[in-house]
Amino acid sequence: MEFKEPVLPQELFDHILDNLADDLETLRSCVLVSSSFYQRARIFSHFRVGALDGEHSISAFYKLLEGSPAFSARVGSLHLDDTPRSSSWISSMTSESRETQLLSHLVCLSRLCISSEQCWTAIPGSFRESIQLTLARPNLTHLELTEVEDLPLPVLAHCPALRSLMLTWVSFELDEHEDFTSAIAACAGSPPTPLEHLTLVLVPSMLEYFGRWILLEESPLDISCLQSLACQVHARPDYIALQPLLTASASTLHHLRLVKGGHHEATVDLRGLRQLHTLSFDACPPIPGCMRSLASTLVFPQPEQPIALVLTIYTNNTRKYVAFADADRTLADLPCIASVTLLWLPRDCAGEDSSAHELIDVSDEFVPEMPLLVNRLRGTGALRVLQSAQLLAK
């Protein structure tokens, strides 16, 4: 017997799909079970828009959004990928192009990522305005900018809902005044934006510049409620620029991640971070140098403040090439460390989120090689070692 209408009300299907929006595998299974899921399930994907092939252009994407309001209203995350510069689709647009208004159709967008090697002023004016209007919406909570050049600081003003900001290899338009007079004037009337998560992967000069800006009383970005901070620290100036950011967020910071830390005769004082409970440290072999950097760079809190250490090593070598004795000795001597998680990931994945990898728990194999740490942690439960399936295959 065939039914022209579903036996169950559409509201039930909508409720199920709303709770499965990020689980694409389950959504596919739902589609196979019932055609009632199909039209709704197919619109939950997150989008990455770029020059993926010659058949799908930005014009085609705009027509899709314009012609499908229900589809557009369901898009919560969008990544506009304009790299590399040689195949830029943003530079091919003009201010009169309809495509510059594509963001206006995404009324429920909460996460916007833009990767572009273009100078900010090279982006068509109407598209820049569209980006600014999107950032001002009450539902835009997450912004990622990658490789954008000469970004004016006021672009990050008037973003009342923004809670998570990631800046990767971004350069800023320098204010003609040392005290940021021009930028402050352009941000007049902007409500404070209390950031909760901040990631900065910048060259030293840009990290120092942005750090000075964000710490100004007149800056619209407020890090006094920051919960997590990730920062690349390659050179001594990076450490110097990082410390004031830690001080400004000391009362609320829970998680600190230092990306690819190196030893440059500089220290980061963690003693004022009373709420810190997770410390992540990303590095590449050789292990002895990595361990020396970890031990000598950081001034740890008092032993009574338990901290979970997440140490990520990016390597293409298998375990037999790793100097476990150095890691065991250094980690066992660190104060206030209550648990240790070691992550072994492929070197070409440096900086990526570990959740994107298939990780295998190999803790039992590592315990005999790290007796000092195991003894320090009073058992094996607080030591966890996860290795990428790609490395295990070698």
Cβ neighbors of 164 (< 8 A, separation 6 or more) are: 141, 142, 143, 195, 196, 197, 198
User: Can you spell out the DSSP letters for 269-298?
Assistant: E-TT-TT--EEEEEE-S-HHHHHHHHHHHE
Predicted confidence at residue 2, as pLDDT, reads 42
| Full-model pTM | 0.84
CB-based contact 289:315 (threshold 8 Å): no
pLDDT at 14: 62
Q: Please report, for residues 131, 200, 265, 394, the alpha-carbon distance to residue 48 in angstroms, rounded to integers and kept in the order given.
A: 16, 22, 41, 31
pLDDT value, residue 290: 79
Give residue-wise pLDDT tens across range 335-345.
889 999 988 88
DSSP state of 321: G
Number of Cβ atoms within 10 Å of the Cβ of 125: 11
**Residues 61-84 pLDDT 10s:** 888 888 888 778 888 888 988 887
Q: What percentage of residues in the chain have a pLDDT greater than 70? A: 79
Tokens of 129: 């305005």
Considering just the CA atoms, what is the radius of gyration of the chain in Å? 24
Q: How far apart are CA 37 and CA 41, in angstroms?
A: 6
How many CB atoms within 10 Å of residue 157? Answer: 23
> What does the pLDDT read at residue 30?
61
Residues 163-211: tens digit of each pLDDT: 999 999 999 999 877 789 999 999 999 989 999 999 999 999 999 999 9
What are the structure tokens assigned to 370, written together?
A: 């790290």
Residues of the chain with pLDDT under 70: 1-56, 261-265, 317-323, 350-356, 379-381, 392-394
Q: Residue 230: beta bridge partners?
A: 199, 257
